[in-house]
Amino acid sequence: MVGLTRLVVPFAVAAALGLVSMGAFGQSDTERAGARAAAEAGVRAYSEEKYQEALDLFTRAESLVHAPPHLLYIARSEEKLGHLVAAKEAYNKIVREAVPASAPLAFVNARTDAERELAALEPRIPVVTVVVEGNGANEAMVTVNGEELPKALVGIPHPMDPGEHHFQAKIGNAASEVVTRTVAERSAETITLTLVGDPGTAATAATAQAEQPAVAPPVEPQPSAAADADRGTKPSKIPAYVAFGVGGVGVIAGTVFLVVRGSKQSESDSLFDECLGRVCSQDERDDIVDMDKSAASAGTMSWVGYAVGAAGIGTGVALLVTSKQGKREQAEGTFVRPFVGAAHAGLYGRF
């Protein structure tokens, strides 16, 4: 009868987990299939009392697809391994999660089982209070099995897994003896750690170091007043180069628009010539008018481009000559900007 139960239970649970995975619409087919395979293998491992393997498999399944049955078997595996605190937290995740009315039956059953098993587990979890005594006790670091215990838990009862544990407190050069205690289920233990040594040695060294005068950072040499004056009066050629660049862009733009104007005008003339000796259609007349407008617009833009180019090049020449003669005083905020109006174009700036 026991053998039959071990065969039936895994497949029944695996089937339920398969239904759960089908409801996980947020995951890909690969993730759902992987979670289902991991859960089925986890059920087999749990039924064979391979609890560490089952814990690993159900943890993987839960990372792929969230499902209360995964958490239920994680809690059961942790409990079997003696990790009662971790088991309690896994049960609590199931109990605290809202189960909608449309949830699969496996979800509902998992929550019911979790509530029942959590109620049976909680009284078994031992409670430990760690107390530190001696000079510097309030600032001492407490370790349990080599891992630091949060300061907020020092001096108050908190749950701990049953089994053998090693406690110690340290601060500076002061330390307590390592206290080893086997904590039993359902027990309440108080661990007292007494500091021995001078806890202020490390603090004193740190204070002395803090009181040492700070070393001033090296001062970078500053340029002399004469160098500043020379740099302030020396003309810059950058505005001239900027003006030349603007002028070059204007010339290129003017040439491009000139080519476009010629092309559009040529197309308009050709179409007009085709209409000689006959009456042009309305579409042909519209096309001729549109191409004439495009040619005129391109011509205007070509003129503007050449005007900007001439202004830019002229300004650049003037600035370059001025910089060579040394008659211009440089000021902060140098800039050169082109402007284009309805009937004029040029450059303006501050040098």
Distance CA 8, CA 100 (A): 28
Residue 231 backbone class (left: φ over 0; alpha: ψ -120 to 50; beta: rest):
alpha
Q: Is the pTM of this model over 0.75?
A: no
Note the pLDDT tens digit of each residue in 142-158: 999 999 999 999 999 99
Note the pLDDT tens digit of each residue in 191-240: 999 999 988 754 444 444 555 555 555 555 555 555 454 454 555 678 77
Distance CA 261, CA 52 (A): 82
For residue 254, the one-letter residue type is: G
Residue 263 DSSP symbol: H
Lowest-pLDDT range of 65-69, 173-177, 280-284: 280-284
Length of the chain: 351
Closest CA to 178 of 194, 189, 167, 187: 167
Distance CA 226, CA 277 (A): 84
Question: CA 184, 185, 187, 193 torsion: positive or negative?
Answer: positive
pLDDT score of 54: 98
Look at residue 189 and tell me whether its pLDDT is greater than 90. Answer: yes
- Residue 169 class from Cβ within 10 Å (0-12 exposed, 13-18 middle, 19+ buried)? buried
Dihedral pair phi/psi, residue 13, rounded to 5°: -70, -40
* Average pLDDT for 2-30: 53
- Residue 193 class from Cβ within 10 Å (0-12 exposed, 13-18 middle, 19+ buried)? buried
Note the pLDDT tens digit of each residue in 126-184: 999 999 999 999 999 999 999 999 999 999 999 999 999 999 999 999 999 999 999 99
CA atoms within 13 A on the CB side of 192: 3
Distance CA 283, CA 271 (A): 11
Closest CA to 124 of 82, 91, 93, 155: 82
